[in-house]
Amino acid sequence: MLKDEVNKAFEVLKNGGLILYPTDTIWGIGCDATNPEAVEKVYKLKGRAEEKSLIVLLDSDNKLQSYIKEVPEVAYDLIEYAENPLTIVYSGAKNLAPNAIAKDGSIGIRIVKHEFCQQLLQRFRKPVISTSANLSGNPSPATFDDIDEAILQGVDYVVNWEQEDRKEKKPSTIMKLEPGGLFSFIRK
């Protein structure tokens, strides 16, 4: 049941653990985005350089102000009208684990419209890290079956939801949005 899976994932996040979970895009490795020790575990598991910042998920755009110093007004329109999952990189990240934030002070945030993620984020009441469930340098997994055994073994909990979904999913579109409203695409 969805509620059971949300509760199990919640307990792991609360205790600083890592989850492997379905998102509105591809399967992700997640942890508490405000816990530096948990974020460190994500980098270690993926074998990823800490200079590469991570993406954070939120369940509602009204929470952006809690994690971004100055949210450009156009961000709300971009989120509302995006046809595909959209990660926006904002300047001036705050209230997040320092090792989740890029060296230039920016952070990528996606507002998810995915049932499992929405319920988990509402229950957890904090942002959750979402990085592709692959070892650094390897391709992102299109389905659950493509996830490397090292990732499956390296997390504290594998969410038992949508594992049978064979529909290939793609990573989100990523755009950088400057405080003045200028934006550029990083990944389309």
DSSP string, 8-27: HHHHHHHTT--EEE--SSS-
- Mean pLDDT (the chain) is 95
The average pLDDT across 50-70 equals: 94
Look at residue 102 in the predicted model and tell me its pLDDT: 95
Gyration radius of the chain over CA positions: 15
Cα–Cα distance for residue pair 134/163, rounded to 1 Å: 16
Cα–Cα distance for residue pair 28/108, rounded to 1 Å: 15
Question: Which secondary-structure segment (H or E) carries 63?
Answer: none
- Which position has the token pair 């205790």? 15
Q: Which carries the bigger pLDDT value, residue 168 or residue 185?
A: 185
Q: pLDDT (tens digit, 9 = 90+) per residue, 127-152?
A: 999 999 999 999 999 899 999 999 99
Indicate the DSSP class of residue 32: B
Q: At 41, is the pLDDT very low, low, confident or very high (cuts 50, 70, 90)?
A: very high
Q: pLDDT (tens digit, 9 = 90+) per residue, 78-131?
A: 999 999 999 999 999 999 999 999 999 999 999 999 999 999 999 999 999 999
Look at residue 52 in the predicted model and tell me its pLDDT: 83
Domains present along the chain, CATH in parentheses: 2-187 (3.90.870.10)
Look at residue 38 in the predicted model and tell me its pLDDT: 98
